[in-house]
Amino acid sequence: SQKIEQNSEALNIQEGKTATLTCNYTNYSPAYLQWYRQDPGRGPVFLLLIRENEKEKRKERLKVTFDTTLKQSLFHITASQPADSATYLCALANQAGTALIFGKGTTLSVSS
Amino acid sequence: GAGVSQSPSNKVTEKGKDVELRCDPISGHTALYWYRQSLGQGLEFLIYFQGNSAPDKSGLPSDRFSAERTGGSVSTLTIQRTQQEDSAVYLCASSLAGYAYNEQFFGPGTRLTVL
């Protein structure tokens, strides 16, 4: 079955540093990969989508890479700020393309 | 415009009772999804509605779970004979069109506690 792993449950970094979060998947080749942010007590909020034929996508301080050979996506936040502290979820389209399969998330804490 | 809304925000029920959870998607969004998030777990897909097509129910964990979407808009998730393991946050999302390459907009969730 399709499986997604986000390698770190928690990541602690200092303000101003670059945070790098990892998402690995097995058992299939998704056409799309999405990243979401979730704050406590709230629903996830969409951040970025990257397609299988795109190697990299950027949005302000965010950068996502998608390596279909390694079956891995990296999510970077540059010049991190305490306001970036949240749980970040990786999500892949299921084989039918009808729904998203989410990883368990990585909780990022940025200290000032 | 208004985002996805869900009600109630919290629901406490006794084991064996039935519960109904409501989702109002963003107007004009044809796709609607239900997910479940248990403590320390990722989001678990439950069911997907797209327009007038038959829903994808492949994620429903048992026949105690059902959902309907009336008029292509509001959706209700029903859990019959609730069990303690049903305790979780139930999230609804909608997207402009079907298929998982579209951005999904999530509601705030309903926290269900089964005593």
Whether residue B1 is predicted with pLDDT greater than 60 in this model: the reply is no
Band of residue A27 on the pLDDT scale cut at 50, 70, 90: confident
Contacts of A32 (CB under 8 A, 6+ apart): A49, A50, A51, A52, A92, A93, B100, B101
Identity of the residue numbered A67: D
**Span A51-91, pLDDT tens digits:** 988 989 999 999 999 998 999 999 999 999 999 999 999 99
Closest-CA distance, A5 to chain B, in angstroms, reads 10
Q: Residue A94: its pLDDT value, please?
A: 79
* Nearest-angstrom CA–CA distance, A22 and A41: 24
Range in A51-60, A97-106, B4-13, B85-94 with the lowest mean pLDDT = A97-106
Q: Using CA atoms in the order B41, B54, B94, A91, what is the torsion angle rounded to 10 degrees?
A: 40
What is the mean pLDDT of the segment spanning B78-89? 97
Cβ atoms of B14 and B113 within 8 Å: the answer is no
Which residue type is seen at A21?
A: L
Q: For the stretch B69-102, what's the b/e string if a residue is b when 16 or more beta carbons lie within 10 angstroms of its beta carbon?
A: beeebebebebeebeeebbbbbbbbbbeebbbbb
Interface-testing mutation among A100, A102, A107, with chain B (most B C-beta atoms within 10 A): A100
**pLDDT value of residue A55:** 87
B-chain CB neighbours of A46 within 8 Å are 103-105
Calpha distance B4→B74 (Å, rounded): 10
What mean pLDDT is predicted for residues B14-37? 96
Across B91-105, average pLDDT: 87
